Amino acid sequence: MAEHDIVVPVREGAADAQLRYALRSWAANLPHRRVWLIGYQPPWVADVGHVPIRQTGTKYANTTAAVRVAIEHPEITERFILCNDDFFVMKPQPEDLPVYHRGPVRDVEAYYATRGNGAYLRGLRETRDLLVSLGHEDPLSYELHLPLPVSKAGMLNALETGRHLDVLHKRTAYGVLSGIGGEYMADVKILHRAPRTFDTSNPYLSTMPDSFTNGAVGRFIRDAFPQPCRYEARRRR
């Protein structure tokens, strides 16, 4: 039996359809002991751990609070897999989940600078400056939309080190401060309901609500996991 739990911050009003198919994909392809939803649990979800939390801050503050709750929860495994509710694992993965990074933060910054992404870009820069001040001259980014294996101790160190930042890039802070290394992967997030321009051979995919509901990528994911999984109380598609 797998030794790691999956931890998923879930906000109120989250897109339930994405979570439903994410759960199906994890049940099929991501070895784990138990799934924990931190925040909101939709009524159709079954057989998961659930820790409700108040979500009164920004989305960045809420997810950071959720991760901190997971770290402090005694029933969650010391090493866990951090996911979002729109991460889909398309192919079977080993129990020793591989680690991926997005390349140097400077390259990711250049990409987001062209999009004018205000709070996220500011948080990227502040997280980078923090890591540089701690001796990591050219840090890697771990802000990928795919499962990340983390240790409680390492993630707590990252959150404590960056607690003065209101938009901490916690995956990056964790990856750099813990020295997890890994292999390069381009981000797998499909932002738009475009024609089939995504890599169907990729073991991971992620979507926006619209690209999942109305795009080719959403149809591809739904077709891959047509059957309900053990985490669904209501047996419907």
State the maximum Cα–Cα separation within the chain, in Å, rounded to a whole number.
52
**Over the chain, what is the mean pLDDT?**
93
Q: Which CATH class is domain 5-89+98-224?
A: alpha beta
Predicted confidence at residue 194, as pLDDT, reads: 73
Domain boundaries, the chain: 5-89+98-224
Task: Report DSSP state, residue 232.
Answer: B
pLDDT tens-digit series, residues 156-194 = 999 999 999 999 999 999 999 999 999 999 999 998 887
Predicted confidence at residue 1, as pLDDT, reads: 53
pLDDT tens-digit series, residues 129-166 = 999 999 999 999 999 999 999 999 999 999 999 999 99
145-167: b (≥16 Cβ within 10 Å) or e: bbbbebbbebbbebbebbeebeb
Angle between the 152-161 and 170-177 helix axes, to the nearest 10 degrees? 110
pLDDT tens-digit series, residues 36-60 = 999 999 999 999 999 999 888 889 9
Predicted confidence at residue 237, as pLDDT, reads: 45
